[in-house]
């Protein structure tokens, strides 16, 4: 019978010093320590988990290693600071360059727009922008010498379109730009030439240069003398007036064939020769535009009536110059205007509201 000293059985004491047992424990520790990272990350298999937990209960060294893994946070890889700084600098440079590019683009657009205004500024001209300075006729051609009615503007380009039967249409580009340097333009047209238009407005017809005044009044031709609004529109006053705007000016509408304007005594008595001639010309034009009208008179409020213009007077004027009184075309009205207003450049349409 064997005896033991102390409290440890002899066989256990012997086993603790067994080289094969120690080697087996060391191998188990190595396996467990290799699996501990997976165990900490909860990636180990169930069999590995059972082995690790069973071993940790009996191995203090492996327990220490396990605690170290639990307490240690994974270190993040330190960024490459030079590379990061280079990328940041590149981004900032790219952003600055993009801002510079945008600013240059906006500046170029502004300069281009200003250049277009100064250098290229042009548009299709209308009849009101054009004057006919001279008309030259030959057996084969009619040449219209065109000028620009607006100071500082010129012509750039013109195209002529024949509409047939002696009717032509002009399309003219011009304006104030440096490209518009031509002060005059020539429209060379093959005979016969009946009518010439610019943007739909007649500027020449049957040998007559059609003025802005003619185009203004032509829609009023052949009107009704009984139209009271028309009577006010063609008032032989020095300025146009609508009903109620001139309390000192009253219309006698009893006879639509004879327009009578009643003026205050002081206005009638203070009328000078120039004012009377102006009213007389206005009245002749009103008669020409209103076939049923026989006369236009002025009457002092407390005095007699004086006929300013009559149908007979207009007919004698037209007959003397072989001009017909019936207005059918722009040329018909222009011939009448040339007789009543022979003064060059007189813009009678300014007397009226547009």
Distance of CA 181 to the CA centre of its chain: 26
Provide the pairing of β-strand 305-310 with 195-198: unpaired
DSSP state of 182: B
d(CA 189, CA 203): 14
The one-digit pLDDT tens for each residue of the chain (354 residues) are 333 334 444 343 334 445 555 666 777 888 888 888 878 888 778 888 888 888 888 888 888 888 888 876 555 454 555 666 665 666 566 556 666 677 777 777 765 555 544 444 567 888 888 889 999 999 999 999 998 867 767 788 889 999 999 999 999 888 765 555 678 889 999 999 999 999 999 999 999 999 999 999 999 999 998 888 888 777 765 444 454 555 566 777 788 899 888 877 777 777 788 888 888 898 999 999 999 999 998 888 877 788 889 999 999 999 999 999 999 999 999 999 999 988 644 444 444 332
d(CA 320, CA 311): 14
Both tokens of 67, joined, read 């605690």
User: What pLDDT score does 96 carry?
Assistant: 64
Both tokens of 154, joined, read 């010129």
**CA 131 to each of CA 2, 73, 125, 273: distance values in angstroms, whole numbers, following the listed order:** 146, 93, 11, 32
* Residues 277-304 as b or e (16 or more Cβ within 10 Å = b): ebbbbbbbbbbbbbeebbbbbbbbeeee
Cα dihedral 206, 209, 214, 218, rounded to 10, equals: 20
192 prior amide bond cis, ω within 30: yes
User: What pLDDT score does 205 carry?
Assistant: 96
- Find where tokens 């009893």 sit: 254
Both tokens of 264, joined, read 């205050």
Q: Which residues contact 85 (CB under 8 A, 6 or more apart)?
A: none
Quick one: the chain helix, strand, coil %, rounded to 5? 45, 20, 35
Both tokens of 39, joined, read 């165990």
User: What pLDDT score does 348 carry?
Assistant: 41
d(CA 160, CA 142): 13
**CA 89 to each of CA 46, 77, 95, 102, 103: distance values in angstroms, whole numbers, following the listed order:** 51, 22, 10, 20, 21
User: What pLDDT score does 134 carry?
Assistant: 92
């Amino acid at each position: 019978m064997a005896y033991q000293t102390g409290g440890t059985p002899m066989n256990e004491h012997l086993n603790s010093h067994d080289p094969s047992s120690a080697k087996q424990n060391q191998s188990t520790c190595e396996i467990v320590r290799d699996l501990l990272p997976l165990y900490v990350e909860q990636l180990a298999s169930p069999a590995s988990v059972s082995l690790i937990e069973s071993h940790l209960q009996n191995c203090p060294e492996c327990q220490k290693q396990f605690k170290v893994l639990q307490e240690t946070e994974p270190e993040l890889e330190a960024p490459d600071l030079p590379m990061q700084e280079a990328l940041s600098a590149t981004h900032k440079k790219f952003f600055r360059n993009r801002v510079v590019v945008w600013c240059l683009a906006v500046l170029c657009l502004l300069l281009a727009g200003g250049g277009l205004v100064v250098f290229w500024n042009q548009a299709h001209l209308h009849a009101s922008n054009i004057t006919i300075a001279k008309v030259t006729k030959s057996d084969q051609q009619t040449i219209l010498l065109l000028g620009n009615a607006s100071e500082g503007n010129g012509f750039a380009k013109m195209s002529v379109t024949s509409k047939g039967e002696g009717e032509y249409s002009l399309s003219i580009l011009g304006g104030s730009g440096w490209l518009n340097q031509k002060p005059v333009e020539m429209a060379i047209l093959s005979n016969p030439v009946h009518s010439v238009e610019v943007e739909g407005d007649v500027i020449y017809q049957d040998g007559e240069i059609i003025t802005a005044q003619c185009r203004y009044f032509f829609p009023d031709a052949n009107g009704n003398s009984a139209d009271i609004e028309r009577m006010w529109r063609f008032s032989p006053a020095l300025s146009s007036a609508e009903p109620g705007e001139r309390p000192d000016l009253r219309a006698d509408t009893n006879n639509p064939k004879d327009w009578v304007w009643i003026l205050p005594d002081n206005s009638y008595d203070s009328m000078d020769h120039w004012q009377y001639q102006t009213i007389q010309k206005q009245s002749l034009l009103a008669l020409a535009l209103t076939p049923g009208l026989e006369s236009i008179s002025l009457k002092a409020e407390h005095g007699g009536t004086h006929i300013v213009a009559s149908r007979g007077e207009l007919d004698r004027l037209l007959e003397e110059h072989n001009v017909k009184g019936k207005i059918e075309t722009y040329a018909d009205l222009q011939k009448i205007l040339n007789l009543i207003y022979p003064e060059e450049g007189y813009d009678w349409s300014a007397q009226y509201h547009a």
